[in-house]
Amino acid sequence: MFEPIAAFKDVSYKYPRSEEFVLFDINLEIRKGEFLGLIGPTSAGKTTLCLALNGIVPQFYGGRFFGGISVSGMDTIEHPITALAGYVGQVFEDPETQLIATSVENEIAFALENLRVPREVILERIPQALSVVRLDGMEKKHPHELSGGQKQRLAIAAAIAVQPSLLILDEPTSQLDPVGAEEVFATAHELNRDLGMTVVMASHSAEEMATYADRIALLSHGRIIALGTPDEIYTEIEMLEGNDLRPPQVATTFYSIRQKGVSVPRVPVSMGDALPLLEELGRHPANPDFALGKPSQSSGKPLLSVKDLAHIYPDGTKALQGVSLDISEGEYILIIGQNGAGKSTLVKHFLNLLLPTEGTVKVGGVDVTEMSVSDLARRIGYVAQNPDNQIFNTSVEDEIAFALKNLDFDDREIEARTVESLEAMGLTHVRDMHPLALPKGDRARVVIGAILAMKPEVIIFDEPTTGQDYRGAQYILDISRDLHEMGKTVIVITHHLYLMPDYAERVVVMGKGNILLDEDIRKAFHETKILRSTFLSAPQAVHLSREMQKWDKDFPPLLAPNEFADYFSLKAMPHEYDEIPNR
């Protein structure tokens, strides 16, 4: 019989001045020593549930709270947050918001000092915590000198130095490159497995959740609608998609194949489970009409041209080293690489936000250093990771017209372009609303609409999928595809490679300020060693395809689950395969 370390009993909660319950009738026992995953679409209640475990909800936020929560035998209402902090460690989405000290060791000491832990005990726990998260030898480094993954591991070290019984991680990998995310999951797994620490993690990272979690709770509209093992939860593809969630790609791949009528014994949720099924899958004949899609390639003159570009920041960091790149009109380009690879630095040179240390950047054959801000704004639009940072006005219509007014267009042109942009982005019905009152996806549409009104030739999306659930990420990328189909040149920077086969044509892989690879997306995604060298991981469908090539040297280099399904489609197979049961 398992022993619960925490329990929710009939818990419902609403924030102050809110009419909606964020949590509703939650009943959940968290088992001592387990790794519990929390999944759900944006605004499902995951963060609130995490904050309730250490008393921050409702003690700090207030609001209306019903039911009860116990952690290590303590009622989270009756015991102050400071008392609960000795039993519950918390790590948030953005490590930057948690790191406040001037050195790694001081960061770990801070929480211990606030809990009045004796000095000699603090000196013992600092190296212990650093060893657990593999940051040994970095005691004197400033936190800002660490990579994204290292910063998040430092936040974990600071949390576990208190030696909590329960460690809560709320979307700790959403800001990280794939290898940084793997580091955090592996660290949490080691704490769980080796130290017996109970871990509760909220995350959209389906592949890692399927690998590491013991159980998964699915939240939707503040309710737990499913609770079970990864195999039980992630094989319910339709339920997940109905809640805007993405299953692990191996599950989607085998599910898609089954939907085409091919008999597979089960739908696996991890690569380890999938590999034994590949040999059997390889015995099915391929669809003879299957053909790989060929991405279109622009043959026009370079619209953006970078030649021997180098950039050294004032602190001596060599962010770019001799980069040369041509981007033609009408291309859809994906720029990828680890955090710190130089992606954003490169893009900032397109916008003349940084001056080259060496080399040149040209737009339409003109050096950007010779172009005015208004000229660049007319040619290149930039969509930041957080659309809220680009919203300045009190109505959608005023936001879209804002840049046009500043670029001195006449009133008639401003009105015409504003109406055209509102219609193109599907925002006409909310033109009078405050942009910040709209859902996040629609706020992104407002920002894109404001850029589109200037009719730029190039639109850059900088990490548009970070912090988004699956549906939100698709929503924005669908807009990028629409713009591309309108003839715009689109540049996207993202770590979420599994999303991009339906969108990008060409991939530029960066690492340590250099371009490591510049190829069409199919070839680039199958260069798994190069991707790994810059801390990226190809989608699981690519790895499945490469495993299939070990059985069949003629197996094509597939990119996505739908391609597997088309390859094994029975539509063009011999008659004896037509009646394979869909088990």
Residues 259 and 343 in one domain: no
What is the band of 570 on the pLDDT scale with cuts at 50, 70, 90?
A: low
Above 70 in pLDDT, residue 1?
no
Same domain, 345 and 477: yes
338: Cβ–Cβ under 8 A, 6 or more apart, which residues?
Answer: 147, 177, 179, 180, 511, 534, 535, 536
Pair (437, 461) in one structural domain: yes
Q: What is the pLDDT of residue 299?
A: 53
pLDDT of residue 289: 84
**126 and 177 share a domain?**
yes
Token pair, residue 529, equals 């060693």
Mean pLDDT of 389-403: 92
User: Which residues fall within 8 angstroms of residue 73, CB to CB, at 6 or more apart?
Assistant: none
For the chain, give the percent of residues with pLDDT over 90.
67
286 and 232, same domain (yes or no): no
Categorize the per-residue pLDDT at 571 as very low, low, confident or very high, splitting at 50, 70 and 90.
very low
The predicted pLDDT at position 316 comes to 87
Q: Which of 199, 220, 239 is the last residue of a domain?
A: 239
Rounded CA-CA distance 30/11 in Å is 14
Q: Are residue 265 and residue 151 in the same domain, yes or no?
A: no
Domain shared by 169 and 195, yes or no: yes
Query: What tens digit of pLDDT does each residue of 105-133 get?
Result: 999 999 899 889 999 999 999 999 999 88
Where residue 109 sits, what CATH number does that domain have?
3.40.50.300
Residue 577 pLDDT: 36
Question: For residues 285 and 290, what is the distance between their CA atoms, to the nearest angstrom?
Answer: 11
Q: What is the pLDDT of residue 255?
A: 96
Yes or no: say if 60 and 81 are a contact pair by the CB < 8 Å rule.
Answer: yes
User: pLDDT, tens digit, for every residue of 350-361?
Assistant: 999 999 999 999
Residue 536 counted as domain residue:
no
The pLDDT tens digits for 196-229 are 999 999 999 999 999 999 999 999 999 999 999 9
- Please give the mean pLDDT across all residues of the chain: 90
Q: Give the gyration radius of the chain's Cα atoms.
A: 25
Where does the pLDDT of residue 580 fall: very low under 50, low under 70, confident under 90, or very high at 90 and above? very low
Structural domain containing residue 175: 4-239
Element (H, E) at 528: helix 528-533
Taken in order 315, 318, 354, 360, is the CA torsion positive or negative? Answer: positive
Q: Are residues 558 and 511 in the same domain?
A: no
Quick one: 125 and 43 in the same domain? yes
For the chain, how many structural domains are there in total? 3
Residue 424 in this model has a pLDDT that exceeds 70: yes
pLDDT tens for residues 461-500? 988 887 778 888 888 899 899 999 989 999 999 989 999 9
| Phi and psi torsions of 106, nearest 5° | -70, -30
Q: Considering the domain boundaries, does residue 507 fall inside one? A: yes
Cα–Cα distance, 498 to 205 (Å, whole number): 11
Residues 6+ apart with CB under 8 A from 381: 448, 451, 452, 454, 456, 458, 459, 460
Contact 377, 454 (CB under 8 A): yes
Widest pairwise Cα distance in the chain: 77
> Encoding tokens for residue 232?
């039980």
Sequence-distant (6+) residues with CB within 8 A of 225 are 218, 219, 239, 243
Average pLDDT over residues 429-442: 86
pLDDT-above-70 percentage for the chain: 96
Distance CA 153, CA 130 (A): 9
In a domain, 532, yes or no: no
**Residue 582 domain flag:** no
Token code pair at residue 409: 């267009």
Same domain, 515 and 553: no
Same domain, 382 and 496: yes
What is the pLDDT at residue 439? 75
Average pLDDT over residues 240-257: 95
pLDDT digits (tens, 9 = 90+) for 559-568: 999 999 999 9
Q: Residue 297: what pLDDT?
A: 53
pLDDT higher than threshold 80 for residue 578: no
Question: Residue 98: its pLDDT value, please?
Answer: 86
If asked whether residues 233 and 254 sit together in one domain, one would say: no
Q: Which of 214-218, 393-397, 441-445, 479-483 has the lowest mean pLDDT?
A: 441-445
Is residue 265 in some structural domain? yes
User: Token match 């936020």: residue?
Assistant: 61
Residue 575 has pLDDT above 70, yes or no: no
